[in-house]
Amino acid sequence: MKRFIRQTILANIILLMALTLSIARCKENTNNSVEKSTPIDTKEKIDGNEAEIDLYNLLHGKDSLSSIIVDIDYDPYFNTKKKYKGFLINDVIALAIKKYGLDTTNKLVFFECKDGYAPFMDISKVVSTRNGYIVFKDLDEKNAKNWNDSLIGKFSPYYLVWKNLPKDDASYVWPFGLTKLTLTEINEVYNAILPTGNQSVMKGFDLFTNTCIRCHSINQIGGTMGPEFNGPKNITEYWKEDDIINFAKDPKSYRYNSRMPPITKLSDADFRDIISYLKQMKMYKL
């Protein structure tokens, strides 16, 4: 009987060791392909001229891409060189085209983030340079986590980074907390936010789309981190011009714990041009 018990115990130990080794190998295989981030609950919509693509579903489906190591010469968030693991954005777009049968002609790509930040770029610019990467892991971190504990809430699941860009090139966006790509017809976007037949406000329009629309929307086009500026009331109908400018330059002088960063690169004349554009948009409410 004692011999039988010893044999049973030994057999259980061997089985446990085998299971442990198998689990370790599974984890190793998973880490060598795609390290999964926590999925964000976003809905996909593929119809007509617009496509809302959930990145987690795209990158972790049956046709998922193999991740690569990405060396960035200068990351503007960290102000230094960085090393990540992620995917070439050209490959991500190509996978979306294959999976959903998308027509990417004359499209803008909105990079939608979980905090409401939603910058956009012309898709031809996004894929032409082969310098963009959607990354999910900071390889400079000396632990098994994808991101530093202090950053995981902001940066997961994905972060868009670029190689070999001049430090002052603001035309390429670096959104973190990236959850979704939305492809929209260029004409549909600009018909909603561009006042027709009024060249005098074009400078303000350009300044607004390069500075403000990433966080604020016009006619529901743009980010949702900040308030909509044209509906149901235009912001110039209930804020004085000087307050709009002073708030943008120093938000915390108006509101405690404001999430809006101060805008320091625009002159008062630039702000006046933006306000002229916003005033004109009162005629084009949805």
Q: DSSP state, 94?
A: H
Which residue in 66, 61, 126 sits closest to 93, CA to CA?
Answer: 126
What's the whole-model pTM score?
Answer: 0.80
Cα separation of 275 and 286, whole Å?
19
- Going from N- to C-terminal start, the domains of the chain cover 45-187, 194-284
What is the chain's pLDDT, residue by residue, as a tens digit (286 residues)? Answer: 334 334 433 344 333 333 333 333 333 333 334 444 444 445 566 665 789 999 999 998 777 799 999 999 999 999 999 999 999 999 999 999 998 888 899 999 999 999 999 999 999 999 987 799 999 999 999 888 999 999 999 999 999 999 988 888 888 999 999 999 999 999 999 999 998 878 899 999 999 999 999 999 999 999 999 999 999 999 999 999 999 999 999 999 999 999 999 999 999 999 999 999 999 999 998 7
Six token digits for residue 69: 């190591």
Return the CATH number of the domain spanning residue range 194-284. 1.10.760.10
Six token digits for residue 208: 């607004």
Q: DSSP state, 129?
A: S
Confirm if 166 and 129 have CB atoms less than 8 A apart. no
Cα separation of 5 and 88, whole Å?
57
Cis status of the peptide bond prior to 157, with omega within 30 of 0: yes
pLDDT at 13: 35
Cα separation of 139 and 158, whole Å?
14
Six token digits for residue 124: 């031809």
